[in-house]
Chain A
Amino acid sequence: MFTRAAPFTPARPEEILRQVNPWFILLTFVLALLANAVPVAGLALALRPDFLALAILYWCIQEPRYVGVGVAWLLGLVMDVADATVFGQHALAYAVLAYAAEYFRRRVLRFPLWQQAPQVAVLLLACAALILLVRFVGGAPLPRWTYFVPPVVGALLWPLVSVLLQWPQRPARSPGEL
Chain B
Amino acid sequence: MRHIPAEPPPFFHRGPSPFARLAFFGLLSIALMFADTRFRYLEGVRQVAAVALYPLQRVVQLPGEAVAWVGDYFASKRALAEENAALRADLVAHALSVQEFARLRDENANLRALLELGQRYSGSATAVEVLYTGRDAFTQKVFVNRGADAGIRAGEAVIDAQGVVGQVTRVFPNMAEVTLVTDKDHAVPVRVERSGVRSVYFGAGAGRPPELRFMAPTADIRPGDRLVTSGIDGTYPPGLAVGVVENVERDTGQVFARIAVRPLAGADRSTQLLVLGQAAALPPRPEEPSAADVAKKAGRGKGRRN
Interface residues of A (CB under 8 A from B): 30, 33-34, 36-41, 45, 65, 68-70, 73, 76-78, 81-89, 91-92, 95-96, 98-99, 102-104, 106-107, 110, 134-135, 138, 140-141, 143-144, 147
Contacts and interface: CB of A to CB of B under 8 A. Distances in A.
B46 A87 contact: yes
A86 B63 CA distance: 29
B49 A39 contact: no
Contact of A92 (B29, B35, B46, B135): B29
A96 B24 CA distance: 11
Contacts of B131: 39
A78 B48 CA distance: 11
B22 A88 contact: no
Contact of B133 (A39, A77, A85, A135): A39
Contacts of B50: 81, 84
Contact of A96 (B26, B59, B138, B204): B26
B60 A39 contact: yes
B61 interface: yes
Interface in B177-219: 177, 184, 204-208
A84 B29 contact: no
B25 interface: yes
Greatest chain A CB density within 10 A among B14, B37, B50, B170 is at: B37
B26 A92 contact: yes
B92 to A, nearest CB: 34
A96 B45 CA distance: 24
A81 B184 contact: no
Interface in B9-64: 14, 18-19, 21-22, 25-26, 28-33, 35-37, 42, 45-46, 49-50, 53, 56-57, 59-61, 63-64
13 contacts: A39-B132, A77-B32, A81-B49, A86-B36, A87-B35, A87-B45, A88-B31, A89-B33, A92-B30, A96-B22, A138-B37, A141-B184, A141-B208
Range class of the B interface residue count: 35 or more
A40 B60 CA distance: 11
Contacts of B49: 77-78, 81
Contact of B136 (A73, A83, A91, A102): A83
Nearest to B205: A141
B4 interface: yes
A130 to B, nearest CB: 10
B64 to A, nearest CB: 6
B137 A106 contact: no
Contact of A106 (B6, B31, B64): B6
A54 to B, nearest CB: 15
Contact of A103 (B6, B25, B143): B6
B134 interface: yes
A88 B18 contact: no
A173 to B, nearest CB: 31
A108 B211 CA distance: 48
B141 interface: yes
B59 to A, nearest CB: 7
B134 A84 contact: yes
A88 B32 contact: yes
Contacts of A30: 56
Contacts of A41: 132-133
A74 to B, nearest CB: 9
A68 B33 contact: no
A72 to B, nearest CB: 8
Contacts of B33: 86-89, 92, 134, 138
Greatest chain A CB density within 10 A among B14, B59, B136 is at: B136
A39 B207 CA distance: 21
A84 B4 contact: no
Contacts of B208: 141
B286 interface: no
A89 B29 CA distance: 7
Nearest to B57: A37
A45 B29 contact: no
Contact of B22 (A65, A69, A135): A69
Contact of A88 (B21, B30, B207): B30
Nearest to A106: B4
A59 to B, nearest CB: 14
Given A30-B56, A84-B46, 14 more contacts: A39-B60, A40-B132, A45-B133, A45-B135, A81-B53, A84-B136, A86-B37, A87-B42, A92-B25, A96-B22, A138-B33, A138-B37, A141-B206, A147-B137
